[in-house]
């Protein structure tokens, strides 16, 4: 597969994420399912893909970079917004999450370019990368639409998604300008920081909000389980996963599924107002 076609698939995945966000209000169950699918999918990418890949390269130091990525935005929120503003951060959560997604897509573009350069870029690989892109684009699109509700939200969403697609393209062609060894040296540090930054942005949605009806709760549970399922497809082939006993793998999946049900059927938080 050519590099141009691979990048086009990733750009299409960005568009699909945006379309899913636009149509999330068609019915209550679908809205809840799509939102939770995007959140769980994005969190799974950070925890099951980005962070383990970085740890495999730089060891436990990856946790330091991830912690910095997670905590730095919280410190900035308090410094810039103050004590009261730190509890009303839909806009800053969007900014932090968007920065993380841009960095992630830059890396995805670079990965596609590297595979294309050695002749290993194939349709299954591109589809797997695109499956990671869809929930990330959905998270960004949903947050933009909510922050800019009633004030040009669709236009702002289109601009944000265009930026994500552009970051993918830039990443794909930046490898021609940057020495491959230099890029590989900093990549695990960037992956760790991006994982932490992404988890920080998603932490604002750790407790569900919105209507606590049977339909919405069931939609959240199904969407979350689907997001977890897609994130774990093929992960059993990863070296770090194979080193974990099967019983522990199953226990981890059960715990993650339990957390999804807890979020879906647990207490709701008050809806934050944007400023």
Cβ atoms of 89 and 79 closer than 8 Å: no
- Rounded to whole angstroms, the Cα distance separating 225 from 262 reads 12
With both helix axes pointing from N to C terminus, report the angle between 123-147 and 28-45 in degrees, rounded to the nearest 10: 120
Check residue 61 and give its pLDDT. Answer: 93
Residue 260 lies in a domain: yes
Residue 105 lies in a domain: yes
Name the domain count of the chain: 1
Residue 273 lies in a domain: no
Residue 56 lies in a domain: yes
Nearest to 38 by CA among 220, 211, 214, 204: 220
Check residue 95 and give its pLDDT. Answer: 79
Residues of the chain with pLDDT under 50: 273-275
Check residue 90 and give its pLDDT. Answer: 62
Cβ atoms of 6 and 126 closer than 8 Å: yes
Residue 21 lies in a domain: yes
Residue 180 lies in a domain: yes
- Rounded to whole angstroms, the Cα distance separating 90 from 124 reads 36
Give this prediction's pTM.
0.70
Nearest to 157 by CA among 9, 8, 12, 14: 14
Check residue 179 and give its pLDDT. Answer: 66
- Rounded to whole angstroms, the Cα distance separating 96 from 197 reads 7
What lies within 8 Å, CB to CB, of 10 at 6+ separation is 105, 108, 109, 112, 126, 129, 130, 133, 165, 168
Check residue 251 and give its pLDDT. Answer: 93
Q: Is 53 helix (H, G, I), strand (E, B) or coil?
A: helix
Report, in this order, helix, strand and coil percent for the chain, each rounded to 5: 80, 0, 20
Reported as a single tens digit per residue, the pLDDT across 188-222 is 898 888 888 888 877 777 666 666 788 888 888 99
With both helix axes pointing from N to C terminus, report the angle between 51-58 and 180-203 in degrees, rounded to the nearest 10: 140
Residue 82 lies in a domain: yes
Residue 274 lies in a domain: no
Residues spanned by the domain of 18: 3-265
Check residue 169 and give its pLDDT. Answer: 92
């Amino acid at each position: 597969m050519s590099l141009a076609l691979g990048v086009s698939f990733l750009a299409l995945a960005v568009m699909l994420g945006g379309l899913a966000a636009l149509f999330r209000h068609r019915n209550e169950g679908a809205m809840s399912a799509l939102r939770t699918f995007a959140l769980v999918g994005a969190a799974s990418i950070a925890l099951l893909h980005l962070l383990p890949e970085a740890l495999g390269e730089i060891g436990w130091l990856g946790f330091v970079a991830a912690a910095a990525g997670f905590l730095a935005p919280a410190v900035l929120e308090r410094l810039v917004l103050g004590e009261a503003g730190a509890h009303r951060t839909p806009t800053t959560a969007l900014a932090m999450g968007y920065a993380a997604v841009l960095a992630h897509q830059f890396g995805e573009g670079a990965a596609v370019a590297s595979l294309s350069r050695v002749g290993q870029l194939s349709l299954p690989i591109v589809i797997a990368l695109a499956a990671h892109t869809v929930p990330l684009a959905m998270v960004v699109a949903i947050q933009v639409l909510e922050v800019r509700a009633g004030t040009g939200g669709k236009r702002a969403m289109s601009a944000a998604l265009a930026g994500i697609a552009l970051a993918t393209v830039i990443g794909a062609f930046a490898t021609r300008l940057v020495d491959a060894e230099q890029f590989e040296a900093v990549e695990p540090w960037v992956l760790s920081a991006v994982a932490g930054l992404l988890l920080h942005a998603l932490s604002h949605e750790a407790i569900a909000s919105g209507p606590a009806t049977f339909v919405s709760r069931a939609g959240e549970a199904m969407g979350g389980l689907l997001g977890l399922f897609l994130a774990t497809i093929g992960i059993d082939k990863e070296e770090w996963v194979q080193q974990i006993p099967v019983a522990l793998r199953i226990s981890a999946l059960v715990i993650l599924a339990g957390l999804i049900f807890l979020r879906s059927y647990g207490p709701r938080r008050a809806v934050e107002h944007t400023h």
